[in-house]
């Protein structure tokens, strides 16, 4: 496997570990200062580490314990200094009120090697909208 | 500007022209055979040119005339053979029933240079979900 791809796959695994451990500090070290983050929830996009950090703290705060990100259908394409990956994640965790939330999201991660180090410069996470109801859609189990 | 970036920007402009002209043939020539497409609407993702073509024909068929994609906040990062771009699009057009639809979507486009030619290998288009209502969210005008 090409070295870039190996490095990017390791970073993606670290990203999953950070969500499970709710380790905001380590998670933020994976993002570039100018990160452009597109989340499931409003607004359209947020930019910069401070805003993205606050968004992850909000998300982590919704859950009582760890958040598991199960990765499906992962594709990684990595050049010398530019890379991207896309996957489906099943996010599972126990909310503060004790109910279990389990949701399938589509995730795209774009990266640059900056001063020798791969960093996430853009991430896009979403769920589909059912056009008949304009509500969030999930596959039938 | 680096040659790769110039080429990718030209491809993105062609992509906008294809939507305005509803030119499915030219549009499909921009996608790789193994394209993984993540759309605003279900399912989670679709793969392959035939499925993506049918999805564009469905989308084009909803509108009476052209579909305008106004591009905002475009970022392009292009290496030798791997590139990505992200932007906000305002999609505007007149539906078959005469009403005008105008919607802001988040768009991420990932590309590879395959046998010398840039092709879109992955595209992710979405709108946010308001967590209070679980309905599609748009900014207030």
Answer whether A112 sits within 8 Å of B77, measured CB to CB.
yes
CB-CB neighbors (< 8 A) of A43 in chain B: 128, 139
Which backbone phi and psi does A10 adopt, to 5 degrees?
Answer: -65, -40
CB-CB neighbors (< 8 A) of B5 in chain A: none
Answer whether B129 sits within 8 Å of A128, measured CB to CB.
no
Give ipTM to 2 decimals.
0.96
* Residue-level length of chain A: 141
pLDDT in tens, A19-51: 999 999 999 999 999 999 999 999 999 999 999
Fold topology of B3-136: Nuclear Transport Factor 2; Chain: A, (3.10.450)
What pTM does this model have?
Answer: 0.97
Compare CB distances from B41 to A88, A124, A128 and report the shortest one's residue: A128
C-alpha separations of B85 from A72, B30, B52 in Å: 23, 14, 19
Across chain A, mean pLDDT equals 96
pLDDT in tens, B98-131: 999 999 999 999 999 999 999 999 999 999 999 9
C-alpha distance from A81 to closest chain B C-alpha (Å): 7
Tell me the pLDDT band of B141, cut-offs 50, 70 and 90.
Answer: confident
Domain ranges of chain A: 3-136
Answer whether B129 sits within 8 Å of A124, measured CB to CB.
no
CB-CB neighbors (< 8 A) of B139 in chain A: 42-44
- A46-47 vs A31-38, strand pairing mode: antiparallel
**Integer Cα distance of B92 and A43 in angstroms:** 20
* Residue-level length of chain B: 141
Q: Which residue of B has its CA nearest to A78?
A: B82
**Concatenated DSSP letters of B53-91:** HHHHHHHHHTBSS--EEEEEEEEEEE-SSEEEEEEEEEE
The percentage of chain B sitting over the pLDDT mark of 70, rounded to a whole number, equals 99
Tell me the pLDDT band of B11, cut-offs 50, 70 and 90.
Answer: very high
Answer whether A128 sits within 8 Å of B36, measured CB to CB.
no
**Integer Cα distance of B57 and B28 in angstroms:** 11
């Amino acid at each position: 496997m090409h070295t870039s791809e190996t490095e990017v796959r390791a970073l993606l695994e670290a990203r999953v570990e950070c969500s499970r451990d709710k380790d905001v500090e380590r998670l933020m070290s994976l993002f570039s200062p100018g990160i452009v983050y597109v989340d499931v929830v409003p607004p359209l996009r947020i930019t910069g580490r401070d805003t993205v950090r606050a968004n992850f703290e909000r998300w982590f705060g919704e859950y009582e314990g760890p958040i598991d990100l199960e990765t499906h259908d992962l594709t990684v394409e990595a050049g010398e200094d530019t890379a991207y990956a896309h996957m489906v994640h099943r996010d599972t965790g126990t909310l503060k009120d004790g109910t279990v939330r389990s949701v399938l999201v589509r995730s795209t991660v774009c990266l640059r090697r900056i001063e020798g180090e791969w960093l996430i410069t853009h991430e896009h996470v979403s769920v589909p909208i059912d056009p008949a109801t304009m509500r969030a859609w999930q596959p039938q189990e």
